[in-house]
Amino acid sequence: MYYKLPVELYCEKNCILNHTDDIASIGKSAYIITGKHSSKENGSLSDVENALKNRNISYKIYDNICENPSIENVMDAVSKAPSGCDFVIGIGGGSPLDASKAVSLMLANPEKSSDFLYEKCISEHLPVVTIPTTCGTGSEVTPYSILTIHKKRTKSSLPHKIYPALALIDPMYLNSAPASVLKNTAIDALGHLIESYINANATNISKMFCNYALSMWKAIPYILKNNIRNYEAYELLMMISAYAGMAISHTGTSLPHKMSYTVTYEQNVAHGKAVGAFLAAYVKNADIYSCNHILSLCGFASVKVMADTINELCGRIKISKELADKSINDLLNNPQKTANCPYTVNEEVLKNIYKESVIII
Ligand code: NAP
Ligand code: ZN
């Protein structure tokens, strides 16, 4: 048995204000990494600025992280870092949080070029504080940073493990999120739980997080379909996402995530929606015990009900046969991408998952 999660985590109202001292204990000069708009609108950026000003911590803001950030986007942020900054604060959805981890890696290794991002080696990084404002990626606790690689026309996780030092979750930041962002990211969290449970690396501890959070997920379709907007709903969404992050920190994700990356790159489909499309078929192909266990924990009467619920929340995806074939060949040619799947993955299985998951045109 092995489990590691070296992240200090708090989840509460006014989380930043309440944990100003915890932020101050991390460093003296911060580099804030965030997206273009949302952190200014939901109050998270001003909360962080106030906390830093209160403790005389100098800071600079980079507010140009795009959705599904690329290597170039990260390197632009690195090139604009203030000299002498000793920690990084990521604020936003998974995109700015993942970018903040990659920036922290590059700032601790200033002599390296962007190739270092994907170099397999033991590495140092600056401490990272993560402040999530979406409810799906779990990036606030995971050691992963997933970047878009334009040269390969896909996305890929860095081989470096960059655990945040401190994660501060204030569920009220979700109040400004459009329903589509809540839906897509909640489905991403469901994907993390399912892919972590049905995973070659799963252990009793990782399954413990999955079991608990999958049973909490039962309430989510009602909350999303009825657009319930209150603190309790936001806290539930945020905590499921964090538990799911704890689960995948141990196991990694599996086929639906790997299949989603090409769809997101080629068709600009939101991450959670792209993952969600493949979930029901992934569950259906698993052993009968895991399939029934997941369905009953989440409260789905069948795999079809699960697929219908996801489609109703996020919408269906259409992709061309060429793109499906390209994605299948890519997975078949890279066995490490399918290694986390505990059942046999061959051309027939992948073709069936595609056929059942997306509309092929
Ligand atoms: P995102 O790409 O971070 O954000 C999506 C959109 O939501 C952006 O337009 C953003 O606006 C907006 N937004 C964020 N918070 C908001 C709020 N509170 N109110 C209103 N709008 C808000 O979406 P995401 O799904 O959270 O992250 C996806 C990324 O995470 C992908 O790159 C995926 O690969 C990665 N991911 C990482 C892990 C991991 O373990 N590290 C796991 C799964 C996925 P702004 O751009 O203006 O901020
Ligand atoms: Zn995900």
- Give the model confidence (pLDDT) of 216-242 as tens digits: 999 999 999 999 999 999 999 999 999
pLDDT in tens, 282-333: 999 999 999 999 999 999 999 999 999 999 999 999 999 999 999 999 999 9
Structural domains in the chain, CATH included, are 8-173 (3.40.50.1970), 178-360 (1.20.1090.10)
Q: Which atom of ligand 1 is nearest to the CA of 145?
A: 41
Question: How do the residues of the chain divide into helix, strand and coil, expressed in percent and rounded to 5?
Answer: 55, 15, 30
Q: How far is the CA of 58 from the centre of ligand 2 (A)?
A: 33
Residue of 45, 125, 128, 134 best suited for mutating to test ligand 1, as the one with most atoms within 8 Å of CB: 134
Phi, psi (deg, nearest 5) at residue 84:
85, 5
The neighbourhood of ligand 2, an ion, using CB within 5 A, equals 188
| Residue 245 CB contacts under 8 Å (≥ 6 apart), including other chains | 137, 138, 139, 140, 141, 142, 192
Tens digits of residue pLDDT in 27-49: 999 999 999 999 999 999 999 99
What is 246-294 written as a DSSP string?
HHHHHH---HHHHHHHHHHHHH---HHHHHHHHHHHHHHTS-HHHHHHH
Report which protein residue has its CA nearest ligand 1's atom 30.
94
Average pLDDT, the chain: 97
Candidates 137, 192, 201; CA nearest to 169 is: 137
Question: Hey, how many other C-beta atoms are within 10 angstroms of the C-beta on 279?
Answer: 24
> Is this model's pTM higher than 0.85 or not?
yes
Tokens of 26: 């991390």
Give the pLDDT score at 1. 82
Rounded to whole angstroms, the Cα distance separating 81 from 79 reads 6
Q: How far apart, in whole angstroms, are the C-alpha atoms of residue 168 and residue 170? A: 7
- Amino acid type, 191: G
d(CA 208, CA 219): 19
Ligand 1 site, CB within 6 A? 35-39, 42, 67-68, 92-95, 98, 133-134, 136-139, 142, 144-146, 155, 173-174, 176-177, 181, 185, 188, 271-272
What's the pLDDT band for 211 if we cut at 50, 70, 90? very high
| Residue 81 phi, psi dihedral angles, 5° rounding | -65, 145
Across the range 338-357, mean pLDDT stands at 96
Q: Which atom of ligand 1 is nearest to the CA of 188?
A: 43
| Cα 326 to Cα 320: distance, rounded to the nearest angstrom | 10
Measured CA to CA, the distance from residue 226 to residue 1 in angstroms comes to 41
**DSSP states of 135-190 as a string?**
SS--TTT-S--EEEEGGGTEEEE-SS----SEEEE-GGGGGGS-HHHHHHHHHHHH
pLDDT value for 2 = 87
